[in-house]
């Protein structure tokens, strides 16, 4: 071979190697870390490489070098922790974004006097809206009012210095307290009957007290001026910013109202959507009386808003439908449908005598045959039912309907979810696995607090032992998904994961709220993380592309300031997200502390 030919071949080889390296180079590499992949093999990696929003390498540090080119951004994790982005399987983002900007009681445990002072301050700050502008107050932690068992009525609002109509929304989202002006405008009187799926609380003379449950306060929706599209878009932006800071890369809006879908769609059209948005429009109780029409409505929303298959760049899907089967088990509402009656005090506060009462809460909001027909129609339409069921009676009704749906639709890949499941009959624990139905649980409720411990006398010791049964359901083989239910609770994903593992409150909680809740063992750290990643991704039919860090999946990931698998369990609440990446693009980065 001549020297010129040799140089020519060498040059060609170098050119080919250069082109190969350039074509194979990753856009981004993370290396020298502890990478929790959440894959089926429970792998821990040291490095990943990202190209065009996809993971092209997940493995040891030594294997990532070929993916590093001249333009690759390389992040040395220096032993830090990286994991899939969180998938929140049940929340209300637009409502959360709006509440970040309104009059809020901030979920605090308040006396009546403190509650009045807070609301009066909001009134004073908005005096320009006198005398007719509505005041909506949010994030009222009704179940944790002080002293325990204190009663609230319109009287505590009527004494405030205002002529305005006022409604106060419980953080649980099932109760409203209204003043007399608001009741009058809504034409709620002694003669007003309880609507289907709702309750108007009344005094000894039959007059409304101002406390309204579930569908009973729906009448206010037509009276209170709705937010403008511009305000909703601003709320959507605020919500996704707050979620990204928590490390959330996908969510399910569990009551995906048309204004929610429209607002996030506008953000997406503007090229500003930084989170994968899934929506579950509501089938309410009255619509459910005509299953064909109700399911057709959901299908029409899907046609209007669903953007098809997932892509690296975040988009929008409409492939779920929400149904409320009951209210909440928490006292004083006790609108959850339970199998065994709530207890009542036949004695006095000083000398209580707790005995079984006639009340099992309201009937499940959808009759059995109707619920089953709705689920069958949803399944045949390719829509996943997402059912709110707080009490064990509602949970059983949901499982019974799913069982019928499974028999009717065969092997179709429908993934029903039952949200909350705060009390579940042990006989129903194994049915979640058998029916491939996901319990979507808000882990932050699994601790001693005003809402849970307030049930002690109404439930009795046996039910209290299995309250919030995440660990028991997991032991029975259920695939558990996490859903924060924000803004029912403050947006604090890491506190929720902490509680999911420890079943304890914060260290500074009052003495009566110390210790663990019930006999449930809780979840392992890995199980809690999987519930908020790959298992919630499964709920949303995106597990083939998100929820774990595997080659070929989207680069949806977060970098943390500590390792939740090894730190003291109570320190999980203090985890901070350093960076959130969606489809290979950084959408949040913690600013350095000075």
Distances (CA, A) of 585 to 274, 364, 385, 550: 9, 45, 32, 17
**Count of CB atoms within 10 A of residue 456's CB?**
16
Tell me, what's the pLDDT at 108? 85
Query: What is the rounded CA–CA span in Å between residue 192 and residue 187?
Result: 8
Show me where the domains of the chain are located: 3-79, 96-222
Q: Is 439 within 8 Å of 472 (Cβ atoms)? A: no
- Give per-residue burial for 289-302: e unless 16+ CB within 10 Å, then b: eebeebbebbbebb
Q: 258-269 and 291-305 are packed helices; what angle lies between their axes, rounded to 10 degrees?
A: 10
CATH code for residues 3-79:
2.30.40.10
- What DSSP character marks residue 194? P
Nearest to 341, CA basis, from 200, 201, 463: 463
CA 73 to chain centre: 34
DSSP string across 464-486: HHTSS-HHHHHHTT---EE---T
**pTM of the predicted protein model:** 0.84
Question: What DSSP element (H or E) covers 526?
Answer: helix 525-531
- The conformation of residue 351, written as its DSSP 8-state character, comes to S
Residues in contact with 123: Cβ distance below 8 Å, sequence separation at least 6, in sequence order: 135, 160, 161, 162, 164
Angstrom distance (rounded) from CA 250 to CA 240: 10
User: In what helix (H) or strand (E) does residue 520 lie, and over which residues does it extend?
Assistant: none
What would the DSSP string read from start to end of 205-274?
Answer: TS-EEEEEEEGGGGGGGGTSPPPPHHHHHHHHHHHHHHHHHHTEEEEEETT--HHHHHHHHHHHHTT---
In the prediction, which pLDDT does 592 show? Answer: 79
Residue 291 backbone phi and psi in degrees, to 5: -55, -40
Question: Side-chain half-sphere of 394: how many Cα atoms within 13 Å?
Answer: 33
User: Strand 103-104 vs strand 135-140: parallel, antiparallel, or unpaired?
Assistant: parallel
Q: Buried b / exposed e across 28-47, counting CB within 10 Å, b at 16+? A: bbbbebbbbbbbeeeeebbb
| Strand, helix or coil for residue 180 | helix
pLDDT at residue 333, rounded to an integer: 81
Please, is 414 exposed, middle or buried when counting C-beta atoms within 10 Å of its C-beta (0-12, 13-18, 19+)? buried
Report pLDDT for 23: 58
How far apart (Å, rounded) are the C-alpha atoms in residues 533 and 244?
Answer: 14
Sequence-separated (6 or more) residues with CB below 8 Å from residue 496:
442, 443, 444, 482, 484, 489
Helices (H), 126-228: 155-158, 180-185
**What is the distance between the alpha carbons of residues 112 and 146, in angstroms, rounded to a whole number?**
8
Taking only Cα atoms into account, the Rg of the chain, rounded to an integer number of angstroms, comes to 26
Query: How far out from the chain centre does Cα 33 lie?
Result: 30
The domain over range 96-222 is classified in CATH as 1.10.240.10 = no
3-state SS class at 594: coil
Phi, psi angle pair for 293, to nearest 5°: -70, -40
Residue 192, burial from CB neighbour count under 10 angstroms (0-12, 13-18, 19+): middle
d(CA 571, CA 86): 18
- Beginning with the edge strand found earlier in the chain, give each strand of the sheet holding 47-51 in spatial order: 54-59, 47-51, 28-31, 73-76
Query: How long a stretch of residues is the chain?
Result: 594
| pLDDT lower than 70: segments of the chain | 1-23, 594
Query: Which helix (H) or strand (E) element contains residue 542?
Result: none
């Amino acid at each position: 071979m001549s020297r010129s030919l040799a140089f020519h071949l060498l040059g060609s080889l170098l050119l080919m190697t250069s082109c190969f390296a350039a074509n194979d180079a990753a856009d981004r590499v993370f290396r020298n870390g502890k990478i929790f992949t959440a894959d089926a093999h429970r792998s821990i990696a040291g490095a990943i490489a990202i190209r065009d929003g996809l993971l092209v390498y997940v493995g040891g540090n030594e294997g990532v070098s070929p993916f590093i080119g001249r333009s690759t951004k390389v992040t040395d994790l220096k032993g830090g922790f990286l994991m899939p982005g969180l998938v929140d399987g049940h929340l209300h983002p637009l409502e959360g974004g709006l509440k970040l900007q309104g009059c809020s009681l901030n979920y605090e445990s308040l006396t009546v006097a403190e509650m009045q002072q807070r609301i009066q301050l909001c009134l004073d700050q908005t005096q320009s809206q006198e005398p007719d502008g509505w005041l909506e107050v949010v994030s009222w932690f009704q179940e944790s009012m002080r002293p325990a068992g204190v009663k609230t009525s319109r009287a505590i609002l009527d004494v405030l210095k205002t002529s305005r109509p006022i409604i106060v929304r419980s953080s649980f989202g099932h109760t409203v307290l209204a003043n007399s002006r608001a009741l009058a405008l809504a034409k709620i009187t002694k003669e007003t009957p309880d609507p289907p799926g709702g309750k108007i609380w009344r005094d000894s003379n039959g007059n409304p007290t101002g406390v309204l449950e579930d569908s009973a306060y729906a009448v206010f929706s037509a009276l209170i001026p709705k937010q403008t599209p511009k305000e909703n878009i601003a709320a959507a932006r605020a919500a996704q910013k707050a979620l990204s800071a928590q490390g959330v890369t996908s969510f399910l809006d569990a009551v995906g109202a048309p204004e929610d879908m429209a607002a996030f769609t506008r953000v997406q059209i503007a090229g500003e959507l930084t989170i994968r948005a899934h929506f579950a429009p509501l089938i309410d109780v009255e619509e459910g009386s005509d299953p064909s029409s109700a399911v057709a409505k959901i299908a029409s929303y899907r046609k209007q808003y669903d953007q098809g298959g997932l892509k690296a760049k975040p988009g929008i899907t409409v492939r779920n439908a929400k149904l409320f089967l009951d209210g909440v088990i928490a006292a004083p509402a006790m609108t959850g449908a339970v199998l065994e009656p709530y207890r009542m005090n036949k004695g006095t506060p000083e000398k209580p005598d707790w005995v079984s009462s006639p009340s099992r809460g309201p009937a499940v909001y959808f009759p059995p045959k109707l619920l089953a027909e709705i689920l069958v129609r949803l399944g045949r339409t390719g829509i996943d039912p997402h059912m709110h069921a707080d009490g064990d009676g509602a949970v059983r009704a949901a499982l019974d309907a799913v069982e019928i749906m499974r028999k009717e639709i065969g092997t179709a890949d429908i993934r029903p979810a039952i949200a909350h499941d705060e009390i579940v009959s042990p006989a129903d624990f194994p049915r979640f696995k058998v029916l491939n139905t996901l319990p979507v649980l808000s882990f932050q409720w699994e601790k001693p607090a005003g809402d849970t411990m307030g049930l002690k006398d109404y439930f009795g010791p046996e039910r209290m032992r299995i309250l919030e049964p995440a660990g028991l359901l997991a032991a029975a083989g259920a695939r558990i998904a996490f859903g924060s239910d924000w803004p029912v609770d403050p947006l604090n994903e890491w506190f929720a994961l902490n509680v999911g593992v420890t079943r304890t409150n914060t260290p500074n909680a009052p003495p009566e709220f110390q210790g663990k809740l019930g006999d449930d063992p809780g979840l392992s750290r890995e199980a809690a993380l999987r519930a908020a990643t790959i298992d919630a991704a499964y709920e949303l039919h995106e597990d083939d592309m998100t929820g774990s860090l595997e080659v070929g999946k989207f680069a949806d990931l977060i970098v943390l300031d500590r390792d939740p698998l090894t730190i003291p369990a109570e320190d999980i609440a203090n985890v901070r997200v350093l960076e959130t990446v969606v489809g290979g693009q950084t959408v949040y980065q913690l600013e350095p502390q000075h």
